[in-house]
Structure 1
Amino acid sequence: MTPARSLLEEHLAGLAAALPSYRRAARRLPAWGAELARTVAGGGRLLVAGNGGSAAEAQHLTAELVGKLRTDRQPFSAIALHAETSALTAIGNDYGYDQVFARQVHAHGRPGDILLLLSTSGRSRNLLQAAQAAHQVGLRCWALTGPAPNPLADLCHETLAVPAPDGQIVQELHLVTSHLLCEYAEQALPVVLAATAGTTDRPPVAGTPLTGLEAEVPSDLPAAGPVRTGVEVVPEGGQQVEGLRR
């Protein structure tokens, strides 16, 4: 067996090993799809966020939802928080990178909306802050993570945790999850529209919000809100400028 063949077989073996547990975890997706369809049909939206490869996967999901996966249907309102680069860099500049998603949740989220956070580790500080913000605003909070338990899973109402130690395999199954979530939502939408015909109220949020969340967030995380100023940066010309942050 050639080295390339060995690498291929090793990767596929790891993927195959994760599938039985993933099948069990993914049983929640029909319910998630139905809830997503109810939310957008009632005028709500999905906010998503991730870092690195997870950011790309989150944006892949919003593209399928705003466009379509299989069915020609009404567009779903879905926003990838990391894709607004001017807002992302401005918030990071003024508030610190830990707040780049949390502040957008406060800006765009409305009670009854859904926040979906993607992380292979479940430990990204900016996602933990976003989950905390979701509970403050009144959003339903879901997570796609790697193996649980992890801090992000603890902060979210529901989590689909991929039981694989390899982050590549976790991300590959997160992509499968995104496609399935979109397809289940598309299948549920006609039923939801028929059931809500003639009503204008937004559907109720499923589940009961978690309480006591502050105690679940690591104590060294900065609180949302205050602007950090007074940091000096030296531009190309060499003259120091007050109040700017890289």
Structure 2
Amino acid sequence: MLIFSISKYINQSISALRAVEDLELDIKAAATACIAALRAGRKVIFCGNGGSAADAQHLAAELMGRFLIDRRPLAALSLTVDTSALTAIGNDYGFENVFARQLRGIGAPGDILIGLSTSGNSRNVVSALIAAKEMEIQTVALTGAHGGEMAKRADFVIAVPHTQTNHIQEAHITIGHMICAMVEEALCSATP
């Protein structure tokens, strides 16, 4: 017999999401930066590891495809999707460089980089934030409660006030969806 409590889990998840309300100004600031970059003809670039890599892909797809309205594609991509680049760079330059190296190849001043890490200390995401600064690319850090090294490096920090990885990730995807909704609202009509 399973002892796991679905009700308890849902309540913990709801608690983490409720805490996101306190991050409204940070979320809107990040969305405004994304809107400005896209208006200027630049792109939104995402990166993260594990579940955060999946979220990075998911959010890039929401912008490139569609989120809530049928509209033109918005320039977005994730640095987590090219397994050949990830494994070659990891092998030749070290795993901590898998995102920074790609960013140096495809990023440009005026782009925006959104890094996701529940701890805020993922070395490859931190390295990407450092590379972005050198390239005049604005940065957003989506982290957990403590912010980690990413909070020291990013232009915009959205630190979910929680310490449990799964609930931080649930909040990250919700925050990402909010940013996508704000971007669509600001930039797109209801037609493609």
TM-score by length of structure 2 reads 0.92
What is the one-letter code of the residue matched to 2:52? S
CA distance in 1 between partners of 2:65 and 2:147 (Å): 34
CA distance in 1 between partners of 2:147 and 2:67 (Å): 31
Superposed displacement of residue 68, structure 1:
0.6
Moved over 4 A (4+): none
Superposed displacement of residue 37, structure 1:
2.3
Aligned twin of 1:221: none
CA distance in 2 between partners of 1:77 and 1:190 (Å): 13
Counterpart check, 1:34 vs 2:41:
no
1:93-104 superposed matches below 5 A: 93-104=91-102
Counterpart check, 1:169 vs 2:143:
no
Percent pairwise identity: 39
Equivalent of 1:128 in 126, 129, 145: 126
**CA displacement, residues 98-157 of structure 1 (integer Å, 9 cap, x when unaligned):** 100011111111111100000011111111111100101110010111112411111111
Are the equivalent residues in 1 in contact too, given 2:46–2:56 (CA < 8 A)? yes
Aligned residue pair count: 188
Partner secondary structure for residue 115 of structure 1: strand
Aligned twin of 1:79: 77
Superposed displacement of residue 22, structure 1:
1.3
Partner secondary structure for residue 10 of structure 1: helix
Aligned twin of 2:179: 181
**CA displacement, residues 55-93 of structure 1 (integer Å, 9 cap, x when unaligned):** 001100011100010122221111100101111111111
Aligned twin of 1:142: 140
Aligned twin of 2:87: 89
Structure number having the greater helix percentage = 2
Q: Higher relative contact order by CA 8 Å / sep ≥ 6: 1 or 2?
A: 2
Aligned twin of 2:3: 3
Partner secondary structure for residue 144 of structure 1: strand
RMSD: 1.6
Unaligned stretches of 5+ residues in structure 2:
none
Bigger Rg, which one = 1
Counterpart check, 1:67 vs 2:65:
yes
CA distance in 1 between partners of 2:155 and 2:33 (Å): 13
CA distance in 1 between partners of 2:147 and 2:84 (Å): 34
**Larger CA deviation: 121-130 vs 71-80:** 71-80
1:149 to 1:33, Cα distance in 2 relative to 1, 3 A: closer
CA distance in 2 between partners of 1:178 and 1:190 (Å): 17
Are the equivalent residues in 1 in contact too, given 2:119–2:147 (CA < 8 A)? no
TM-score by length of structure 1 reads 0.72
Are the equivalent residues in 2 in contact too, given 1:26–1:160 (CA < 8 A)? no
Aligned twin of 1:159: 157
Are the equivalent residues in 1 in contact too, given 2:26–2:157 (CA < 8 A)? no
Partner secondary structure for residue 82 of structure 1: coil
Unaligned stretches of 5+ residues in structure 1:
192-246
